[in-house]
Structure 1
Amino acid sequence: MSLNSIFQYFVPKDRKVFFPLFEQAANNVVAIATILVETVNSNNPATRDDLYKQIDKLENVGDELTHQIYIELGKNFITPFDREDIHALATAIDDVADNIQGAANRMNLYSIDDFTVPIKKLADLILQASIDMEKAVRELKDLKNVRNIADSCIRINSVENQADYVFDRAVADLFLYEKDAIKLIKYKEILATLENATDMCEDAANVMETILVKNA
């Protein structure tokens, strides 16, 4: 058997197997973020209950996709880019979904029915960052549109900075004006989890920027 034949034996039958999984995971995050925005803008408790359930289901879908990426990582000897970057990107995308679900769970468990302006703003920012993350992920499969990926990553970083400001201002206002200590704790936890979702979007963007540098 020639050296080339041996090499081909180890090449995965579908070297692009990771890209559809990444795209599905990113699409799933956009779907979860879209439902989150709908949830915090709904005045109907029954509607919100249904939306919370949808978020839970989609988060489970995200977990399955992440698990499948890890399985493919173990099966394939040759990968389209560095193994640690594949693992880091899959983890970051999954962490966005986890934090969205975490915030939604707290809203549900704490029986929140007064969704403040900062909560709505953070939900909007999560959706913006998720959409840009999904756009960048779609471009990874051939790395021909490097500028598009870089632009999306820049926008994600900008959104994360906005989220930091919204979070800091909202927490400061809570300590200034909220006299109910229990309510303050509830809202601070929700705000922190929402802000963390934008941090995870930035983590995904950082991984993709690293991939661009390595494959330049």
Structure 2
Amino acid sequence: MSLNSIFQYFVPKDRKFFPLFEKASGNLINLGEALNELVHTNDLNRKTELTKNIEDFEHVGDDITHQIFLEMGKNFITPFDREDIHALASAIDDIADFIHGSAARMQLYKITDNTVPVQKLSELILQGCQDLHKAVCELKNLKNIRVITDSCVRINSMENQADYVFDRAVADLFEYEQDAKLIIKYKEILSALETATDKCEDAANVLETILVKNA
């Protein structure tokens, strides 16, 4: 190994990690927007197209997560603790996975009715993705700590709203829906959507941990 290679190994790779995190969180917005359109359109062809788009965006997210983990292995010095880099990358990847899982279930279960709870949870997911991206974009300098903390507060509030929507929706399913198959299908979809909001909160918690350690 050359002296230059050894030197590069010890140089902090801020130029690597932060752009990758911003790409990952920006990709979540793509996923959230596609999901939101999916649950608001009645065009079956468009639904199929959007479901495929969501799958493609999820694969993009997987690639970015893989790149982040590769950079951790290649670099001795990182912009913040390795466990926090891993936790944040994993939380972002989990959000993408559950958005994709929600859309896939809608297609597999042949769900065409856009129910209000499904729409509301999708809107909350998009809101969480937007707030998360806003916070992630401030990580590179930590000068606008208030932007990050405010985004985390909004994500926590969003997750609380999602819990209420989910619980109310499931209660209504059991009370008013007579078709047992539909109850199972919608409960599975609602659960995946609600879990996506939980993962947004997990990512926000990691951001708050990074702030405590580095502010």
TM-score where L is the length of structure 1: 0.95
For 2:14 and 2:109, the matched residues in 1 are separated by 46
How many residue pairs end up in the alignment?
A: 212
Structure 1 equivalent of residue 17 of structure 2: 18
For 1:126 and 1:15, the matched residues in 2 are separated by 29
For 1:92 and 1:162, the matched residues in 2 are separated by 20
| Structure 1 residues 57-206: aligned runs within 5 Å | 57-206=56-205
The Cα of 1:115 is off from its aligned counterpart by: 1.4
Structure 1: gaps (5+ residues)? none
For 2:125 and 2:40, the matched residues in 1 are separated by 14
For 1:133 and 1:115, the matched residues in 2 are separated by 26
For 1:17 and 1:143, the matched residues in 2 are separated by 17
Kept after mapping to 1: 8 A contact 2:159/2:201: yes
1:140 maps to a residue whose letter is L
1:204–1:26 Cα change, 3 Å: same
TM-score where L is the length of structure 2: 0.96
For 1:53 and 1:148, the matched residues in 2 are separated by 34
Q: Quote the sequence identity (%).
A: 62
The Cα of 1:9 is off from its aligned counterpart by: 5.1
Structure 2: gaps (5+ residues)? none
2:51 maps to a residue whose letter is Y
For 2:210 and 2:60, the matched residues in 1 are separated by 25
2:201 maps to a residue whose letter is E
CA RMSD for the aligned pairs?
1.5
Secondary structure (helix, strand or coil) at the match of 2:142 reads: coil
The Cα of 1:14 is off from its aligned counterpart by: 3.6
